[in-house]
Amino acid sequence: MNNYALVVAGLIVLVGLAAARARLDRRDGARRVFDFFWRLEIFTVVLLVASLVVLGTVQVVMRNLMHSGLLWADPFMRHVVLYLGAIGATVASARMNHITVDVASRILPARLKPARRAVVYGATAIATYLLAIAAIRLVIDERSFGEVAFLGIKAWVIQLILPVAFVVITYRTLLAIFLGREPAEAGSDVA
Amino acid sequence: MALLGILIALLALAGMPLFAVFGALAMALFFFAGIDISSVAVSMYSVAGSPLLVAIPLFTLAGYIFAHSKAPDRLVKLSAAVFPGGLAVVALVACAVFTAFTGASGVTIVAMGGLLLPALLQEGYDRKFTLGLVTASGSLGLLFPPSLPIIIYGYVAEVPVDKLFLAGILPGILLVGLLAGYGYYKGKRERVHGVRPSLTAIRAAARDAGWEIPLPFIVLGGIYGGILTVNEAAAITALYALIVEVFVYRDIPVRKLPEIFSESVALVGGILVIIMCSFGFVNYLIDAEVPMRILDWMQRYISSKYTFLLILNLFLLVVGCLMDIFSALIVVVPLIAPVATGFGVDPVHLGIVFLTNLEIGYLTPPVGLNLFISSFRFKEPVVKLYSASVPFLLLMLLALVVITYAPALSLALVNLVAR
């Protein structure tokens, strides 16, 4: 992806998607689709956390009672943490409740707040989009190395979550600008 | 580069999410150093290489489950039965325990404050004192195991977490003790009518919380008995919380679980994504030998370890009130830890000093996080909370001085167990 045109085109597509999604906000049919993806995201997250609880407990029991353990459990759990970080960040983006320093919104007069929001979210979208590009380049590089992470799974396949997550984060940040509110504020149908 | 750096810093102050700030800084540094920006993503992936981080989502989940159950209620009743000296003392102890098990994410003020504020007012404590107390107790207990910031410090500074858990206990007791002493004095002076502890009350409260009382013993006993690793203790805690609150007490209906899971993951994701994005930034600074340069520069002006610690405290208090504890740990620790080692500060002791500072930072005006959570939760202007928390802030600063200049307080238990 050394092609600048492709990078710019990608950003334009995302802006278009977010704008289209913002316009479709009130259509019932569209809502059902958005809702489905949002539920899928939450379901994945629940499954990932549950897998940590179960595997962690299984490891305790196996190690202390049978003096053995699942060899793949440790790398698996570490990668689950990576996935939780990535997907958790997209969930946090839907509510835009990321950790911030945010001195300005406490001291700025109310009439300047929408402007602050637009500027900050715009800059955030650009930064997260560039992070997505960085992640895509990582995946392409890794793919040419072809290293295996664990259980025969290639590292680059696992790493795909990084560009996906940052693209989603960028899209949601843009969506928050178009909607003029946080995507998950009004009900649960974010996609 | 400098211009871009200033722009990003301004955006950070305007409220740009910190992960994006650190990601952008890292990309800018790499770009101007002629390194491919994919290095930032390489650092992100290295999160999957650390076994210690597994504990974070698990302890957080446990914390959210407790916060959504009636555990806070039972905890307060139990503390009220066991600890004499009025409800103020009880509130502090209960909050400390609750914070230790829920990380330091403001959950304490939201979960416990709503319960304690009306109760304290009803007992006759004045409103200003009560507000200050509830606000201060929001981060109290951060030094007790298995608190999340301790785990993150251990991860970032590469110090064994079980040692840090031990090291935090006495300083934590000092902090709680000082505030509790003030609460006791306040209760006496204002003739607050308290309940006398009685054996029947203890028995009733203990029976109510019977399923929750064993948990701290399982976690600590498991880790120090060599049965559980920290991650396994985290998994057991989460499982235990699930079973007890959902199936034994039935405080939480099963259909509410996905919501609680996703709430906890949003917080965990928020922390982990900062770790992921700041890794590249921090690694760049370490490769550029920034810590060594800070050390060289400081050693030119400072020779004593104690002067260094004083300056460190002042610096960390500022950091603590500007940044939340997690990002402060992730970014500042790798840069400062080598400097502190250069001045001969024990890394375990440094950890406790760090965490105490950041704990106090939660309460420091103008932007301490607890002040805002309290203001939001209790619908009081922030300015009122500033003045309400001053006495507590001063007491905590006193404790900080003791913790900083008496390393033995942190290291005694560690050395005792190591022997």
Chain A positions in Cβ-Cβ contact with residue B11 (cut-off 8 Å): 119-120, 123
Q: Percentages helix, strand, coil for chain B, rounded to the nearest 5?
A: 80, 0, 20
Q: What does the pLDDT read at residue B397?
A: 94
Q: What does the pLDDT read at residue A188?
A: 47
Give the model's confidence band at B208: pLDDT under 50 very low, under 70 low, under 90 confident, else very high.
Answer: confident
Give the model's confidence band at B348: pLDDT under 50 very low, under 70 low, under 90 confident, else very high.
Answer: very high
Q: Which of B21, B262, B275, B277 should be substituted to probe chain A, the one whose Cβ sees the most A Cβ atoms within 10 Å? A: B262
Q: What does the pLDDT read at residue A185?
A: 56
Q: What is the pTM of this model?
A: 0.84
Q: Which of A2, A4, A38, A45 should be substituted to probe chain B, the one whose Cβ sees the most B Cβ atoms within 10 Å? A: A45
A126 or B50: which leads in pLDDT: A126
Q: Residue B34 has which token pair?
A: 């002629």
Asked if A69 is an interface residue toward chain B (Cβ–Cβ < 8 A), one would say no
Count other C-beta atoms under 10 Å from residue B124's C-beta.
14
Indicate the average pLDDT of chain B.
84
Asked if A154 is an interface residue toward chain B (Cβ–Cβ < 8 A), one would say no
Which value, to the nearest 10 degrees, does the dihedral of the CA atoms of residues B266, A98, B147, B373 take? Answer: -110
Which segment of A131-140, B57-66, B283-292 scores lowest on mean pLDDT?
B283-292
User: For residue B25, what is the nearest residue in chain A, using CA coordinates?
Assistant: A127
Q: What does the pLDDT read at residue B417?
A: 78
What is the ipTM, given to two decimal places? 0.88
* Cβ–Cβ below 8 Å for A92 and B269: yes
Q: Closest Cα of chain B to A12: distance in Å? A: 20
Q: Residue A134 has which token pair?
A: 């960085």
Measure CB to CB from residue B13 to each of A75, A104, A134 and give the nearest one.
A104
Q: Are B10 and A99 in contact (CB under 8 A)?
A: no
Q: What does the pLDDT read at residue B38?
A: 85
Q: What does the pLDDT read at residue B104?
A: 60
B192 or B250: which leads in pLDDT: B250
Sequence-distant (6+) residues with CB within 8 A of B107 are: B63, B64, B67, B98
Phi, psi of A149 (to 5 degrees): -85, -60
Quote the CA–CA distance of B375 and B343 in Å, as a whole number.
40
Residue A126: name the closest of A17, A5, A8 by CA: A8
What Cα–Cα distance (Å) separates residue B128 from each residue in A175, B40, B111? 42, 47, 20
Q: What is the mean pLDDT of residues B55-72?
A: 84
Measure CB to CB from residue B18 to each of A50, A79, A99 and give the nearest one.
A99
Q: What does the pLDDT read at residue B10?
A: 85
Sequence-distant (6+) residues with CB within 8 A of B414 are: B163, B166, B167, B348
Contacts 24+ apart (CB under 8 A), A144-151: A149/A75, A149/A79, A149/B48, A150/A72, A150/A75, A150/A76, A150/A79, A151/A72, A151/A75, A151/A76
Q: What DSSP string describes B350-406?
A: HHHHHHHHHHHHTT-TTT-HHHHHHHHHHT--HHHHHHHHHHHHHHHHHHHHHHHH-
Asked if A97 is an interface residue toward chain B (Cβ–Cβ < 8 A), one would say yes
Q: What does the pLDDT read at residue A80?
A: 92
* Cβ–Cβ below 8 Å for A119 and B12: no
Chain B positions in Cβ-Cβ contact with residue A159 (cut-off 8 Å): 41, 45
If residue A149 lies in a helix (H) or strand (E), which one and from where to where?
strand A148-150
User: For residue B320, what is the nearest residue in chain A, using CA coordinates?
Assistant: A101
Q: What is the mean pLDDT of residues B164-173?
A: 92
> Residues B81-113: pLDDT tens digits?
777 777 888 888 888 888 887 766 567 787 788
Quote the CA–CA distance of B273 and B47 in Å, as a whole number.
10
Q: What DSSP string describes B33-86?
A: TT--THHHHHHHHGGGG-GGGGHHHHHHHHHHHHHHTTHHHHHHHHHHHH--S-
Q: 3-state class of B213 per DSSP?
A: coil
User: Which stretches of A24-112 are DSSP H helices?
Assistant: 28-65, 73-95, 104-107
Which value, to the nearest 10 degrees, does the dihedral of the CA atoms of residues B176, B410, B339, B330 take? Answer: -50
Q: Which of A60, A62, A76, A105 should be substituted to probe chain B, the one whose Cβ sees the most B Cβ atoms within 10 Å? A: A60
Per-residue pLDDT of chain A (191 residues; tens, 9 = 90+): 457 888 888 888 888 888 888 777 767 777 777 788 888 888 898 899 999 999 988 988 888 888 777 888 888 999 999 999 999 899 888 877 777 776 676 677 777 888 888 888 999 999 999 999 999 988 888 888 877 777 778 888 888 999 999 999 999 898 888 887 777 754 445 55
Quote the CA–CA distance of B330 and A63 in Å, as a whole number.
32
Count other C-beta atoms under 10 Å from residue B381's C-beta.
8
Quote the distance between the C-alpha of residue A83 and its chain's center.
9
